[in-house]
Amino acid sequence: MASTTYGLPGLPRRERCLVMGVVNVTPDSFSDGGRWFDHGRAVEHGLELAGQGADIVDVGGESTRPGAQRVSLDEELRRVVPVVRELTRQGVAVSIDTMRAQVADHAVQAGAVLVNDVSGGLADPSMAPLVAKAGVAYVLMHWRGHSHDMQRRAVYTDVVAEVHDELRDRMAAMVDEGVDPAQIVLDPGLGFAKRPEEAHNWQLLAHLDRFDDLGRPLLIAGSRKRFLGRLLADADGHDRPFSESDDATLALTALSAAAGAWCVRVHDVRPSADAVRVAAAWRTGGALLDEGRADAVGRGGSGR
């Protein structure tokens, strides 16, 4: 897999895999829905994640778990914009997790430096022009449809080749609409139109190097997802609960960092922040010992 180091507009540049911490300002997200629904608690949690070593804090106001229904534009704005504004005011590098260009626009105006769009620009045709105009970093995820029917679309002959080609084509489409390739981060979309019982997610993880030729950094977002719970099912075949798969997520972080991922998106930040630093020290024989948690989180300088 390609180098972990990329200069992206507005984001910290490190000689190691970055860690993105999750703040779900929702009542129904799959792993922690409701815990951070209050604005004050969401901000407090975001600051806590930054203090634990998150390089980026990802704020989202709409659940994308399988089967989830969409919320209104006004409700999504109400949930996320005050949280983004306060976290950025306090020096945190914030990404906005949204499929809506209007939400992305308001969040960027409030200080967000990255747009994390699980639809890869397919859910809202206004997203590409917005991202191009704003000049912010943009996560383009592999996506085949909204949560209510995405698993029905999880049909592949060769999941790695098809995800690769669909990401390539989406990136080309975004570039055609004015987005600079240097703004783009790619995400293979673990758990999104990927069936645990078909091992789609594991096939992608085992072949991350197949995405090297796309020339862009990779975000790996597998934290607490169902494919981990399925792997860790008990003797009766019951999946491990989401909240009890953090150890497996930590293993995923370490392996992703060692494989060259640009960033991992996780719910439990501190162990993953440790793991990416261990991976960097291991990979370089200790040459990156200054890549510790003493880095000023959110103030690491522009990646321009």
Pick the catalytic residue from 14, 225, 226, 240: 225
Pick the catalytic residue from 14, 265, 270, 277: 265
CA 170, 79, 64, 6 dihedral sign is: positive
What is the separation, in whole angstroms, between the first and last Cα of the chain? 23
Rounded CA-CA distance 89/87 in Å is: 5
Tokens of 6: 């990329």
Q: Please state the length of the chain.
A: 304
Reply yes or no on whether 35 is catalytic.
Answer: no
CB 223 within 8 Å of CB 248:
no
User: DSSP label at 218?
Assistant: B
CB 99 within 8 Å of CB 124:
yes
- Smallest CA-to-CA distance from 217 within 56, 47, 100, 106 is with 56
- Residue 207: alpha-carbon gap to chain centroid: 19
Reply yes or no on whether 225 is catalytic.
Answer: yes
Phi, psi of 207, rounded to the nearest 5 degrees: -130, 40
Which residue numbers are catalytic? 225, 265
